[in-house]
C-alpha cells in the first residue's frame, strides 16, 4: 500500500513538472545580444572559476584581481561561495546532492552576469570534476576559464583562518573537503596558480596578467 502511494506520488509530481515545463518558453532570443553589451562596456564578459581547497586563497586572490581590474576601468563581480551560501543558497547543506545544486545555481547566476558583459569571478571549492564540468556547460565553454588555486592541504591547515580544519579534524564538521571528503584536482585547468612561497599580491598578479588580454580586445 505504502509503495503504491509512493509510486503514485512520484508519477503525480512528474506530471505536474512536465505540465509546467511544457508551458515555459525562453525569450533569450529577444534580448539584447551579449556582443552589444560588451561593445557598450568595452570589455568581454567571461567567467573565471576559481577552485581549490578551503583556505587556499581563492577569495583573497579574486578580490585583489577585481580591484586591479576596477582601477583599469573594467566592471567585475566576485561571487564568493560563503556569501552565496548566506543568501540564495542558504537552504542547501553540504551533502553531495546539495553541493551539486550549489554549483548549478552559482553557475546560472554567473551566466547572467557574463551575458551582460561583466567579468565574473567565482570562488567555490567545487571539489569534484563533474561539478566543474556542470558549471562549464551552463556558462558556456568559450566563456569559462577554470583556475586552480594550488595550495597544499598542509598549508591550508596551517592558515586555517576560519578554524574549519580544526573542527573537521575533531569530527565536528562532516563531509569537509580535504579531510573527510575528497578533492579532485583539475587535470588541465586554464591556469594553475601554485601559491607556495607567494603572497596574495604575487598570486593575484598571475591571474591579472592572464585575464587582461582576454577581456581587453574591445579597447
Mean pLDDT by 10 residues, the chain (219 residues): 54 59 66 94 98 97 98 98 95 92 97 98 97 97 98 95 94 92 96 97 98 95
Element of type H or E holding 109 = helix 96-115
Inter-residue contact 122 to 47 (CB < 8 Å): yes
Number of H helices, E strands in the chain: 9, 5
Q: Catalytic: 216? A: no
- As a residue count, the chain comes to 219
In the chain, where the domains are located: 33-215
Catalytic-role residue among 56, 110, 126, 203? 126
The pLDDT assigned to 60 comes to 97
pTM of the model: 0.87
Q: Mapping DSSP to helix (H, G, I), strand (E, B) and coil, where does residue 35 land?
A: helix
Domain 33-215 in CATH 3.30.465.10? The answer is no
Inter-residue contact 193 to 203 (CB < 8 Å): yes
15-26 per-residue burial string, b: 16 or more CB within 10 A, e: under 16: eeeeeeeeeeee
The pLDDT assigned to 17 comes to 58
C-alpha cell at 188: 588541465
Amino acid at each position: 500500500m505504502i509503495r503504491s502511494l509512493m509510486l503514485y506520488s512520484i508519477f503525480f509530481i512528474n506530471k505536474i513538472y512536465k505540465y509546467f515545463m511544457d508551458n515555459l518558453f525562453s525569450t533569450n532570443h529577444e534580448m539584447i545580444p551579449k556582443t552589444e553589451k560588451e561593445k557598450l562596456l568595452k570589455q568581454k564578459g567571461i567567467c573565471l572559476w576559481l577552485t581549490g581547497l578551503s583556505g587556499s586563497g581563492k577569495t583573497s586572490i579574486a578580490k585583489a584581481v577585481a580591484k586591479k581590474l576596477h582601477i583599469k576601468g573594467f566592471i567585475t563581480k566576485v561571487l564568493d561561495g560563503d556569501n552565496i551560501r548566506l543568501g540564495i543558497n542558504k537552504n542547501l547543506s553540504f551533502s553531495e546532492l546539495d553541493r551539486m545544486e550549489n554549483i548549478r545555481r552559482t553557475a546560472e547566476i554567473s551566466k547572467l552576469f557574463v551575458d551582460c558583459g561583466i567579468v565574473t569571478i567565482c570562488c567555490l571549492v567545487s571539489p569534484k570534476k563533474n561539478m566543474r564540468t556542470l558549471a562549464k556547460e551552463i556558462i558556456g565553454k568559450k566563456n569559462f576559464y577554470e583556475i586552480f588555486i594550488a595550495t597544499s592541504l598542509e598549508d591550508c591547515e596551517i592558515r586555517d583562518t576560519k578554524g574549519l580544519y580544526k573542527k573537521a579534524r575533531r569530527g565536528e564538521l562532516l563531509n569537509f573537503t580535504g579531510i573527510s571528503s575528497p578533492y579532485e584536482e583539475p587535470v588541465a585547468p586554464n591556469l594553475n596558480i601554485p601559491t607556495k612561497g607567494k603572497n596574495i599580491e604575487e598570486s593575484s598578479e598571475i591571474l591579472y596578467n592572464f585575464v587582461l588580454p582576454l577581456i581587453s580586445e574591445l579597447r
